[in-house]
Amino acid sequence: MVNATLNTIKKRRSITNFLSKSVNEKVLQDVLEAGRWAPSWLNKQPWKFIVVSDESIRLRASDIVPTVFSSTVRVAPVIIAICVNPDLNPYHYIEEGAAVTQNMALAAHSMGLGTIWIGTFSLADEKNSTERKLKDLLKIPKKWRLISLLPLGYPKFKGQKTRKELNEIVDWNYFVAREEKSSAQEIRQKDSIKKILTPTSTPPI
């Protein structure tokens, strides 16, 4: 029997285009509920969600986000902005906002919706950053941070993705530096090829 949660995780894809079909309010509430139940340090729940359904605000947001996301933000029936208050947890508020985003994305997929995770958080909090501009647009107070935007709608196309095999990314008990080992092997192989191809070397038999 296939585990329903694991199946949802495996099937979720980033969706960049949506049907012109509104999102049912009950379904939207369920997506928000999934975010509400994300984990947080000492159960501080340092978040607030802004549901952007007004078309004029979405259009203005589409001019602010990186160009690759502009059309997605423009056509999405609704967008959810995930905000967090660093004062409630100055050490882990970014992860907590990310956990909320993931919960919502998975819940949305399980209900036939599509999303794409648009990271908006600016590490240096630059004045002209995407985060600052979106905060001004959405009237988010200065002390709050905007972690992500989730455009939400019914997918026009299904995405396809693959993942690395578990044996490439899982170690037992200790970290194994496969990448460094692999790179060293590639360098040795290239050096061997160079030696074979140099005019002074003995031609290979």
pLDDT digits (tens, 9 = 90+) for 30-57: 999 999 999 999 999 999 999 999 999 9
State percent of the chain over pLDDT 90: 77
Query: Is the predicted pLDDT of residue 194 greater than 60, yes or no?
Result: no
3-state helix, strand, coil in the chain (%, to 5): 45, 15, 40
Which residues have C-beta within 8 Å of that of residue 48, sequence separation ≥ 6?
83, 84, 85, 144
The domain ranges of the chain are: 4-153, 166-197
Query: Is the predicted pLDDT of residue 78 greater than 80, yes or no?
Result: yes
Of the two residues 158 and 110, the one the predictor is more confident about is 110
pLDDT digits (tens, 9 = 90+) for 148-185: 999 999 999 877 778 999 999 999 999 998 776 555 55
Candidate CATH numbers 3.40.109.10, 3.40.1160.10, 1.10.3430.10, 3.30.70.20; the one for domain 4-153: 3.40.109.10
